[in-house]
Structure formats: C-alpha cells, structure tokens
Amino acid sequence: MTETLLSPPDLPAPPVTLLTEAALFLDFDGTLAPLADTPDGVDVGDDLLSILARSRDALGGRLAIVSGRSVATLRDLGLGDFLLAGTHGLEFARPGESVNAPPRPPAIDAVEAAFHIFADDKPGLLVERKSISVGLHFRRAPIWSEDARDLAERLAQQHGLTVQRGKMLYELRPGGADKGSAVRKLMQDAPMAGGVPLFIGDDVTDEEGFAAAVALGGAGILVGAPRSTLATFSLEQVTAVRHYLTLGIAEQNFRRLSS
C-alpha cells in the first residue's frame, strides 16, 4: 500500500453525519466486542445485536461484518442475521443463505497438526481451527511470540500459504483476499452498492479495509490505541464504537422525521 500513513493524534473523532449515506463495514473483535484471552471467550449480548440491527435498518440494509473469524463462527456467535465476510475476505454469506467459500486446502490440515505439536508442551498457546484457515494464539504466552512467528513463516513458505498477523496471533490461510478485497466485492452489489464505504476496525488486518474504503471515496475509523494507520478518523474503544453507532441511529431517525 502506498497511501500516506497518518498518526492517530492527528485523527479527529468521526462526525455522526458520516453515517448518513454510509455502506458500513465493521470488524468484530476489538471493534464491536472487546478482545478476549481465547476466541470463544467473547460474549455477543442482546445490546450489541440490537445496535447492529437498528443500524442496518437505518442504513437501508447497508451493513456488513468483515472479520478474520469464519462465517460459521460468526453465525455461532449470533450474527447470522447480518451480511458477513469471514476469514479475511475469503468467505461470504447473506442471512439465511449458504456460505460462498473455497474448499479447505489440505495444507491447512498439515499446518494445524504442526501448530498442535508446537503448542503441546507450551502452556498458554492455543490453536484455533477455522473453516479454511488455522491460527496460533499466544496472548496468554507472549514469551513464545518470536518462535510462533518463525514457525508460521516457515510453514507458510513450505505450503504456499499466507501468514496473517493479528493481535497476539499468527494465522495461516490461502492467499488472494483480504478485508480490502472484501469491501470492493461487497460494494458491487446490493445492499452495499450505492453507499459511501465506511470501515471501522482496530487491527493491522483492517488496514486493507481502510485503504479500500478511502479509495472508493469513503473513510476508515481506527479503534483503540494510537498507531500509524490509513484510517481518517479514530474512536478510543469498543464502547465508543457502540455509542457512535447509537448516535448514528438517532441522527437517521431525526432526518426521517424532519423530511
């Protein structure tokens, strides 16, 4: 990416009016829900589901969740009523429809086995099996971060896979997609087509999403701690994201009543 990286202290808070014509793309972990020590430690409560449903309805359906998690996991978390892009843009699903995804490569099974061997005698490491990828989490054992990186890079080269770095995580998956390609694909069709793309995310894996949104005339919102980013606005934390969406719903309702 050749776009100029901005320093978060230079980033303003996003105006609520940014949501007026938005095609809203939302990361999940660290954006809609706080990061947890383990992938299954996240709780999606009724409050969040209500905010998402009301935001989607206020935007005429233009809301999608774009996550590193698989579509199956997102649905298990209770997000099946929303347009989903999973595994960093490799999977797509509309509510009530089957998942559009490539088959699981045999190489992922080989990597998963190698990850388990590596993690077996190292308490705190966690191997996360996904539909077409596999992750190695070291949040509870950061001492192994460099070894995890070296293993992931070696296995990726050996099997022709892509290393996806996340927060305290190395994930191996097929290449050819990212959150930016997910934005571009979803913007081509209803319900997202015709809106102005707005991507909200917290991780380095969301930078491609920011870049795609900006390139298509929209914006990105970085959530969390300051760092170099392609985003154009910032919010401090998950609660700020939920508050921002709630304000957006109120703004849309006010505009409807005033028209």
Q: Which residue(s) pair with 129 in the sheet? A: 134
Spatial strand order of the sheet with 126-129 comes to 126-129, 134-137, 169-173, 162-166
Written as one letter, the residue type at 224 is G
9: exposed, middle or buried (Cβ count in 10 Å: 0-12, 13-18, 19+): exposed
Q: Phi and psi dihedrals of 225, rounded to 5?
A: -65, 145
Q: Phi and psi dihedrals of 24, rounded to 5?
A: -90, 120
Sign, Cα dihedral of 241, 223, 151, 156: positive
Do residues 199 and 210 make contact, with C-beta atoms less than 8 angstroms apart?
A: yes
CA angle at 64 for the pair 257 and 97, rounded to the nearest 5°: 110
Separation CA 13–CA 119 (nearest Å)? 41
Separation CA 69–CA 88 (nearest Å)? 8
Do residues 166 and 68 make contact, with C-beta atoms less than 8 angstroms apart?
A: yes
Q: Report H helices in 160-206.
A: 179-186
Catalytic residue among 27, 29, 178, 203: 27
Do residues 210 and 229 make contact, with C-beta atoms less than 8 angstroms apart?
A: yes
Active site residue 57: no
Active site residues: 27
